[in-house]
Amino acid sequence: MASDEQPVCQIFSFQDCKTSPDPIFELPAQCLTSTPVPIVIDNGSFQTRAGWAAAELHSPRLLFRSVAARSRGAARSETQIGNDIPNLEPLRWLLKSQFDRNVVVNFEIQELIFDYVFTHLGIASEGSVDHPIVLTEAPCNPLHCRQMMSELLFECYRVPYVSYGVDSLYSFYHNNTLRNIQPPHTGIVLSSGYHCSHILPVINGRLDALNCKRVNVAGSQAASYLQRLLQLKYPGHLAAITLSRMEELLHEHSYTAVDYHEELEKWRSPEFYEREVHRMQLPFSGKLPGGCVSVEERQERRAQQLRRLQEINARRREEKLLQDQERLDRLMAVQELLEDGLLDQFHKSLVEFNMDSAEELQSYINKLQLAVEQGRQKLLHSDGAEGKTEVPELEQPIDEGDGVALMDPDFPEDTLPEKTANVVQPMFNMAEYHQLFVGTERLRCPEILFQPSLTGEDQMGLMETLQYVLARYTPEQQEVLVRNVFLTGGNMQYSGMKERVERELLAMRPFQSHFKVTMALQPALDAWYGARDWALEHPPGGVGGAAEGWISRQDYEEKGGEYLSEHCASNIFIPMKIAKAVPARPTEPLLTTLASTGAPPPVTMVTSALTPSCSTVAADVPVVTF
């Protein structure tokens, strides 16, 4: 009985979701207060999320891809942002992002993103945004990038306050609050986004920036790897295997294997393969060119082709007849010059027609008169045979160049034998031809997070990097860190990810040691919710100026754009002091004078003069090792 059961085929269709433009919201009533409500912007490399930090507003108002499309030389107003682009694939070559990896470097695109956010949130104030901004940034964000971002927000939009935080730390803060873990929080965060992944140790509520590590493998590399695999597997569907569809495959149909090699062994079984393979149906047209058609349809199609060829031949005959008649009229005009005695003009006309004598002219005229007469006869015959069958019409002799090359040798009756309707012809399954069988690719692509060598990357995987980070701490600190291993980020949403991390930690940690792995409730959105919660608990302003975590305009002007006010979800601020150039010492003329007089130069004095300056420069530039 078991052998008679057929495996269930899992056929899925691509959603090919088209985005619709975001509406321009009105300013909520909760934000019309004397104290401006902060705006929370999760500036992600894959998706931007923006909304209000109000207790009554529980979700971000805007969610859109962090891309802009603008043609070269196009006006600023013609730029399409995020959801204004219904389909990314036709404009893939025009898409620009503000990110390089996970760091903002293109601030022109970033300004366009901010314009889009503020306009659609309903901020209509001219020349300024009178709301504090909570903005996410990359772990260990370069000071120059923060300086440019602060300059953009304070100088261009004239915001009153800005707070910077790390997205994965906001998610860590939010989930610890939901789990009723009292601050200060200690743990280690594994974050994987669109462009890269991070290992972030948090000790007593503060990021340990010296031991943070980044792995340059994440969702975009997995999507590109899946696209390459399927394009090699199905070279006939290269255009249909787009990056957007590969991202959909990763999000909806991929999973992380708890034991990669053991899972691959399962796929060797034909029964397991038929049960677990996902057949992705590509769009196609059900009309088969040259497929199995009935006799009547084949005859009708042939009749249409014959009528079309007949029209083409008739049109060419008419064109050839007109050309011959025109040339004949011109030659007859030249012959009339000879009859009128205008010999000079007659000889000039002969030279123009590349003829030597009147006899050659007369011979050519006779040939053209015969060709014109035959052409007229053919046209009259074709007009009279319109009501007759079409095959004999095409079997008549046709002059050379009258369209014989257009006639397909399959048209005559002897090459198209009519088959009876009961002849069994092989059926071609067009739907199955347009199916992508996604088997081991479902687990091979997420596996690059743990084994980047699958794509040729020469770097450590996520868990190997975690082991390296833990080895930098004492055993007691390691025990505390692994009791709260937190997974967050959009690329952590594969099913089986938590179990895989637990298995790797079990193999990594000492015997009978304890650890706990927790997955974020909403790995892609918890960063925004954490930033909103933090803004609600730490409002800006106050009697003494800006509160903890907020940068006021006065701080920006006094301390510079790279300044950061630290808080529980922020980076660590390490100021960079750039020493001024040491002024030129007036000792060279003295040395030159002494050399010219023959006196020995005061080497000891010059050396002692250099020592304080060098020590001052070295003291002003601290060396930071990451």
Share of residues in the chain with pLDDT > 90 (%) = 60
Count Cα atoms within 13 angstroms, Cβ side, for 440. Answer: 14
Residue 611 in this model has a pLDDT that exceeds 80: no
Identify the weakest region by mean pLDDT among 95-99, 181-185, 187-191, 585-589.
585-589
Report how far residue 141's alpha carbon sits from residue 22's, in angstroms, rounded to the nearest whole number.
30
| Predicted pLDDT of residue 73 | 74
Q: CA 443 to CA 430: how far, in whole Å?
A: 28
Tokens of 518: 């927790």
Radius of gyration of the chain (CA): 40
Residue 392 forms part of a structural domain: no
Taking residues 330-351, report their average pLDDT: 82
| pLDDT (tens digit per residue) in 90-104 | 999 999 999 999 999
Helix, strand, coil % over all residues of the chain, rounded to 5: 45, 10, 40
Q: What is the pLDDT of residues 139-157, one digit of tens each?
A: 999 999 999 999 999 999 9
* pLDDT recorded at residue 541: 76
The answer to whether residues 553 and 499 belong to one domain is no
Q: Residues 136, 531: contact at Cβ < 8 Å?
A: yes
Residue 30 confidence class, pLDDT cut points 50, 70, 90: confident
CATH number at residue 54: 3.30.420.40
Least confident of 9-13, 18-22, 228-232, 525-529: 9-13
Position 385 scores a pLDDT of 58
Predicted confidence at residue 253, as pLDDT, reads: 96
Is residue 453 domain-shared with residue 547, that is, in the same domain? Answer: no
Last residue of a domain, one of 359, 380, 401: 380
Is residue 601 situated within a structural domain? no
Average pLDDT for 352-371: 83
Q: What is the pLDDT of residues 214-239, one digit of tens each?
A: 999 999 999 999 999 999 999 999 99
Q: Nearest Cα to 197, choosing from 488, 552, 584?
A: 488
Of 468 and 372, the one with more pLDDT: 468
Q: Is residue 17 part of a domain?
A: no
Residue 341 lies in a domain: yes
pLDDT-based confidence at residue 581 (cuts at 50, 70, 90): low
50: containing domain: 29-183+526-559
Q: Is 396 left (phi over 0), alpha (psi -120 to 50) or beta?
A: beta
Co-location of 319 and 461 in the same domain: no
- Mean per-residue pLDDT over the chain, rounded: 84
Specify the pLDDT at position 372.
84
Q: Looking at the structure, do residues 480 and 542 belong to the same domain, yes or no?
A: no
**Neighbouring-strand partners of residue 164:** 135
Query: Which of 16-30, 352-366, 393-407 has the highest mean predicted lDDT (pLDDT)?
Result: 16-30
270 and 309: one domain?
no
Inside any domain, residue 613:
no
117 and 84 belong to one structural domain:
yes
Same domain assignment for residues 363 and 484: no
Instruction: Output the DSSP codes for 127-161.
Output: S---S-EEEEE-TT--HHHHHHHHHIIIIIS--SE
249 falls within a domain: yes
pTM: 0.72
Look at the chain and report how many structural domains it folds into: 3
What is the tens place of the pLDDT at every residue in 234-287?
999 999 999 999 999 999 999 999 999 999 999 999 999 999 999 999 998 866
Q: Single out the residue in 363, 380, 397 at which a domain terminates.
A: 380
CB 244 within 8 A of CB 89: yes
Given pLDDT bands bounded at 50, 70 and 90, which one contains residue 582?
low
In a domain, 290, yes or no: no
Q: Edge-to-edge strands of the sheet including 10-13?
A: 10-13, 278-281, 435-438
CATH number of the structural domain spanning residue 472: 3.30.420.570
| Inter-residue contact 64 to 4 (CB < 8 Å) | no
> SS in 3 state form for 85-115?
CCCCHHHHHHEECCEECCEECCHHHHHHHHH
Claim to verify: residue 513 and residue 540 sit in the same structural domain: no
Does one domain contain both 179 and 40?
Answer: yes
Handedness of CA 265, 266, 268, 269 (dihedral sign): positive
Identify whether residues 81 and 141 lie together within a single domain. Answer: yes
464 is a domain residue: yes
Same domain for 136 and 257? no
Last residue of a domain, one of 346, 364, 380: 380
Question: Do 359 and 233 sit in the same domain of this protein?
Answer: no
3 compared with 300, residue with greater pLDDT: 300
Give the position of tokens 């990314």: 88
